[in-house]
Structure 1
Amino acid sequence: MMHHADGEVLGEFLVSARSLAEYRAMFHLSDDDLAGRRVLDCPGGAASFAAEASALGAEVTAIDPIYATPPTELAARATPETERAVAWAHSHADRYRWDWYGSTAEHAAIRRGAAARFADDVRAAPHRYLAGSLPSLPCPDDAFDLALSSHLLFSYADRLDADFHLAALLELARVATVETRVYPLLDYTGAPLDDLIDHLRTELHDKGIATSLQKTGYEFHHGADTMLTLRSAA
């Protein structure tokens, strides 16, 4: 249940339908990051990334607990879920910068288009969509070259503690042999999480995983212009 009265409490995790263009901007992705590479999108939500990036030659696997739902039902739910997420963003419009999209209407159009593409793909290529959730993924070590994770870690720091974040980041590093990229580094209210990020980077460094903060080409939430990058020292 979402409580709109106080404008702060987001009761449920939002299932968002983001596009390849948004992923490119959020994660600073180049064609070289995608073509011929094994890419994990976790949590995938109702994004069209797996469909669009696969068309560019990437081998994409999206993982999300919602994929335990049969593909036909997932396809049917994609649009209503997207409308819920769009409504949340538009009802809190002052928290966001709309310049990347141009307007709230263009934002809604991109999300609706992504939901439709996801709905088609989850029926046509269900093998791309695995049921699973952090911090324990149904994948062997080094199953991917690149792992992407958006709008779960940090976004829901109000209910996912530091231990969960560390376990999830270690799990992403376990399955991604080259690099993991995480965005955004704020919670969904826009609160900065510098202490949590510093703690996690120290813990990861102690475990042989190098981290860096990199600017992105995308800032939707005010101040959300940075991603966290993990690279194993091995």
Structure 2
Amino acid sequence: MMKHHADGEVLGEFLVSARSLAEYRAMFHLSDDDLTGRRILDCPGGAASFTAEASTLGAAVTAVDPIYARSTTELSVDAVTENDRAVAWAAANAHRYRWDWYGSPAGHAAIRRGAARRFADDVRAEPHRYIAASLPELPFPDGSFDLTLSSHLLFSYADRLDADFHLSALLELSRVTEGEARLYPLLDYTGAPLDDLIDHLRTELHDKGIPTALRKTHYEFHHGADTMLVLQPAT
């Protein structure tokens, strides 16, 4: 059961957002070296244009999301309509966010809508890049990726995904990743901090031989969301 936050606001469904390569670079502190010639997993990929854009830079990107079970025609349409819902949520809750990276809510909406259109074009042209699957079980062999990026699922929906789910999902991301797995943000969708959950998960991962680190990002949309969790290669 979803718990209500103190302000009584509950987001009833998972949002499907369309984020751009520029946003990914900032959220995950990505360098050109991170993107060039690397096997990258984006999980969950949502309607992001990251896969399309990073592929043009020479990355071999695989996006994973349960929404990819839909037909490419449905995805192309839904990418725009569902992203509009996410944009509307942000605008309606503008007080939760810092808008300086985007310039304004209108700037944010323009970037997201452009990303949704780019995603829609790519999922039709290159459907093999988009795999229908979901955490905490992924259909890839151990060490399939050099870098994994995961945003706005884990931690964001801590009101409905419990600590055991988080741990299972993080272990799975570590399993399929030869290098680092980077997760952002470390707040829930209302902007509430999750320090106890993060401390618990880091301890559990450390005990299982997976070092972790907290690393500052170049992006802060939710107030205080300026840090990512990094899972380092298992020892």
Q: Could you state the TM-score of these two structures normalised by the residue count of structure 2?
A: 0.96
User: After superposition, what is the alpha-carbon deviation per residue over 1:113-136, rounded to whole angstroms, capped at 9, x for unaligned?
Assistant: 000000000000000000000000
Runs of at least 5 residues in structure 1 that lack an aligned partner in the other structure: none
Instruction: Give, as a single letter, the amino acid of the residue that structure 1 aligns with 2:152.
Output: H
User: After superposition, what is the alpha-carbon deviation per residue over 1:209-228, rounded to whole angstroms, capped at 9, x for unaligned?
Assistant: 00000000000000000000
Correspondence list, 1:83-122, <5 A = 83-122=84-123
Aligned length: 230
Aligned to 1:195: 196
Cα pair 2:180 2:232 within 8 Å, conserved: yes
Correspondence list, 1:10-159, <5 A = 10-159=11-160
Residue 65 to residue 140, structure 1, CA distance change in 2 (3 Å):
same
Cα pair 1:7 1:92 within 8 Å, conserved: no
Q: Displacement, 1:97?
A: 0.1
Secondary structure class of the residue paired with 1:186: coil
User: After superposition, what is the alpha-carbon deviation per residue over 1:75-98, rounded to whole angstroms, capped at 9, x for unaligned?
Assistant: 011111111000000000000000
Provide runs of 4+ in structure 1 moved above 2 Å: none
Q: Displacement, 1:8?
A: 1.5
Is 1:214 the counterpart of 2:232 in the alignment?
no
Cα pair 1:149 1:183 within 8 Å, conserved: yes
Cα pair 1:184 1:227 within 8 Å, conserved: yes
Q: Aligned partners of 2:100, 2:176: CA distance in 1, in Å? A: 35
Runs of at least 5 residues in structure 2 that lack an aligned partner in the other structure: none
Secondary structure class of the residue paired with 1:232: coil
Q: Aligned partners of 2:90, 2:157: CA distance in 1, in Å? A: 15
Q: Displacement, 1:103?
A: 0.6
User: After superposition, what is the alpha-carbon deviation per residue over 1:154-186, rounded to whole angstroms, capped at 9, x for unaligned?
Assistant: 000000000000000000000010110000000
Cα pair 2:39 2:60 within 8 Å, conserved: yes
Q: Displacement, 1:7?
A: 6.5
Aligned to 1:204: 205
Instruction: Give, as a single letter, the amino acid of the residue that structure 2 aligns with 1:44.
Output: G
